[in-house]
Amino acid sequence: MEKAWWKEAVVYQIYPRSFMDSNGDGIGDIAGITQRLDYLKDLGIDVIWLSPVYQSPNDDNGYDISDYRAIMKEFGTMEDFDEMLKQAHARGLRIVMDLVVNHTSDEHQWFVESRKNKENPYRDYYIWREGKAGDVPPNNWGSCFSGSAWQYDEATKMYYLHMFSRKQPDLNWDNETVREEVFDMMRWWCEKGIDGFRMDVISMISKVEGLPDGEMADGALYGDFGPYVCNGPHVHQYLKEMNEKVLSRYDLLTVGETPGVTVDEAKKYTGYDQHELNMVFQFEHVEGMDEENKWNTRPVSLLRLKRILSRWQTGLHGVGWNSLFFSNHDQPRSVSRFGNDSDEYRERSAKMLATCLHMLEGTPYVYQGEELGMCNYPFTEMSQFRDLETINAYRELVEESHKREPEELIRCFQHRGRDNARTPMQWDDSVNAGFTTGTPWIGVNPNYKSVNAKAQQQDSDSVFSYYKKLIRLRKGHDIIVYGDYKLLMEESPSVFAYVRALGDQKLLVLCNFTSEEQALDIPAEVRCPEGEVLISNYGREQAGDIQTLRPYEAVVIWQKQ
Ligand code: GLC
Ligand code: CA
């Protein structure tokens, strides 16, 4: 398989608002990131993916951009950015920017012009349609953040499309001038020396012509836009064009966030012969295609997780490339969701999850705080939430439609809400976990006294030290990057076991996802009794013939014939 630096890299995602506040206003900023680069260097990661830092009115924390060539005031200045980039590069760290171009902010100059009148040269930058008789929006699509996907605009008495909030109007990618503007802006950042793009909801940029009504599920308030918006008719054409005009001219890491993507679609986005993107984020394993409503408290099924991840592992092997993640700024904390965040098992299960993920084939992503085993926040009331997805869902489901009970829905938010991942990074055991000297914009998880970076950096047995070791292993063992994958114990609802193979090397990965001891059933030909234990979260030193795994145990054994 062809080698590439972005296959060998480990990416660390920073959500700048919650990472490090350098000036005491309670909001993380770019200078704060620069202060903490040595921490990231110590962890051993190669690439930083920065959630958006562009100018934004912050309806959706920076995912609503009003100027792509300016820095958000709260985060600092372009000089701060340039300094951060320089300092990162000086440490051998690369910077990948979030590229949010399915939509802009309604405060972007393009939209300010576009909404003025129908003749405005920017009119066609966005998706405007006449309503249906009787003040009915052009179609029945619901936005991802509740309500209709259409907003009526008084000035021209027409509706504009917004798949997210009404302050995030969708760009019209069918307009060639829009594409050229975006490519131009991308080149501008590339010329600055950035190292790649994470492309926000890039699978949604091409809508099916005619914008047909979506199917209405039982009890749903809006039609399902999925088939008409995700992986639309021209998305591959537009990405090939972007690749030809921008991406191929630089040495970049490119990853598409692709809601609704299937393995077959991913082959088109990431295929080595397709000239689109390096890799995509798929969501089947964290959200589930069969999930009618994300607001539930259902536990994760390991069988399902294994089935999905295995399908992606084998589906893309040799054809395209996977990105590996259990968490990001839109997901709950991985240890709370897939592991066990009780005092007894938090550390053990966080290490187990990391092992399971980092040994798969693909580029691993660490979401800030995951390397400390940070947990979901114990939310109990609506005033603690900041995320508009959560706040809008409450309004729609409790206050307007009375479909859900308040306490019950808040429990679901506590389980799945995006704010779980957005509480401040826990640096030390001082006030506000060392994140800010002011008042943090969102509450700090009360467990920071025991869960924090300072304590863990000094402790060789911490989750942080374990991540360090895991990341270092990747640098010394090409099988971790390039080996192929085979699932073992397929029917086990408790153990995730797999074997990687490359030439005469074998890598056996054994992970117990439960708090009980589990018996193993590994075929003789893939057992590695003579192998070397590369990492173990129980301090296991000899491979031997392992018969059982202790609660949340993970062990990786490497053998060369
Ligand atoms: C993506 C981002 C999410 C954002 C949305 C709209 O899913 O990850 O945070 O709210 O797109 O830009
Ligand atoms: Ca600040």
59 pocket-lining for ligand 1 (C-beta < 6 Å): no
Pairing type for strands 548-549 and 518-519 reads: antiparallel
**What separation in angstroms does the CA of 120 have from each of 156, 350, 396?**
11, 54, 35
- The CA 58 to ligand 2 mean position distance, Å, reads 15
Which secondary-structure segment (H or E) carries 406?
A: helix 406-416
Q: What percent of the chain has pLDDT over 90?
A: 96
The closest residue, in CA terms, to atom 7 on ligand 1 is 201
Q: Alpha-carbon distance 394 to 385, whole Å?
A: 11
Give residues with Cβ within 8 angstroms of 547, minimum separation 6.
Answer: 519, 520
The pLDDT tens digits for 333-389 are 999 999 999 999 999 999 999 999 999 999 999 999 999 999 999 999 999 999 999
Q: Which among 63, 145, 165 is the best mutation to test ligand 1's pocket, defined by most ligand atoms within 8 Å of the CB?
A: 63
pLDDT score of 219: 85
- The SS3 of residue 79 is helix
Confidence band for 289, pLDDT divided at 50, 70 and 90: very low
- What does the pLDDT average to over 305-319? 97
330 pocket-lining for ligand 1 (C-beta < 6 Å): yes
Helix axes 463-476, 346-358, angle to 10 degrees: 20
Q: Which among 146, 201, 257 is the best mutation to test ligand 1's pocket, defined by most ligand atoms within 8 Å of the CB?
A: 201
The vertex-430 CA angle with 48 and 20, nearest 5°, equals 25
The closest residue, in CA terms, to atom 5 on ligand 1 is 63
Q: Alpha-carbon distance 308 to 283, whole Å?
A: 10
What pTM was estimated for this model as a whole?
Answer: 0.98
Residue 259 Cα: closest atom of ligand 1: 7
Q: Which of 278, 280, 252 shows the shortest CA–CA distance to 266? A: 280
Residue 483 near residue 515, CB atoms below 8 Å: no
- The SS3 of residue 98 is strand
pLDDT score of 290: 55
Fill in the amino acid letter for 442: I
The pLDDT tens digits for 189-215 are 999 999 999 999 999 999 999 999 999
Q: Which of 99, 95, 278, 277 shows the shortest CA–CA distance to 194? A: 95
Helix ranges (H only) for 230-333 are: 235-245, 263-270, 302-316
Give the number of whichever ligand sits closest to the CA of residue 283.
1
The closest residue, in CA terms, to atom 9 on ligand 1 is 330
Q: Which of 331, 532, 311 shows the shortest CA–CA distance to 421? A: 331
Distance of CA 488 to the CA centre of its chain: 27
Q: What is the largest CA-CA distance in the chain?
A: 76
Residue 64 Cα: closest atom of ligand 1: 12
- The CA 74 to ligand 2 mean position distance, Å, reads 6
Give the number of whichever ligand sits closest to the CA of residue 72.
2
- The neighbour count for residue 5, using CB atoms within 10 Å, is 12
Q: Which of 216, 212, 234 shows the shortest CA–CA distance to 224? A: 216
201 pocket-lining for ligand 1 (C-beta < 6 Å): yes
Residue 526 near residue 508, CB atoms below 8 Å: yes
- The CA 20 to ligand 2 mean position distance, Å, reads 8
